[in-house]
């Protein structure tokens, strides 16, 4: 379903600039009002998975037989999980909430 939603939203992004009629605008609004609950459900579905990953990492960190390599790998894995989950919530170029201005909502510091 995620791919279908992404395709729909990408298509809308290309079509919306050409929309001029009130009925077409109403149809897009109606469609978006049906998509938003699906997107929110996707977020709700992924959050428990993220929490389970974090819990597994936390439990593994308590093991007395961890090697220094294991500890380093768990720290890296913990950071990766956090970074990826947080990145999913940050507006990206092309998103309406994206801002290239530091200090503004949606600002994303370049990693390059």
User: Which tens digit of pLDDT belongs to each residue from 90-102?
Assistant: 666 666 666 666 6
The domain segmentation of the chain, as residue ranges, is 2-15+23-89
- The pLDDT of residue 109: 61
Q: What are the pLDDT digits (tens) for 25-66?
A: 998 898 888 888 888 777 778 888 889 999 999 999 999 999
CA 86 to chain centroid: 7
CA distance 99 to 24: 28
Residues 16 and 60: their CA atoms lie apart, in Å, by 49
pLDDT at 10: 85
């Amino acid at each position: 379903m995620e791919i279908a939603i992404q395709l729909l939203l990408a298509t809308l992004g290309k079509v919306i600039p050409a929309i001029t009629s009130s009925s077409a605008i109403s149809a897009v609004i109606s469609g978006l009002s049906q998509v938003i609950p699906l997107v929110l459900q996707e977020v709700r579905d992924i959050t428990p998975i993220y929490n389970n990953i974090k819990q597994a990492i936390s439990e593994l960190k308590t093991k007395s037989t961890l090697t220094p390599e294991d500890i380093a790998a768990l720290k890296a894995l913990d950071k990766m999980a956090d970074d990826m989950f947080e990145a999913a919530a940050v507006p990206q170029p092309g998103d309406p909430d994206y801002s290239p201005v530091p200090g503004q909502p949606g600002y994303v510091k370049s990693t390059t």
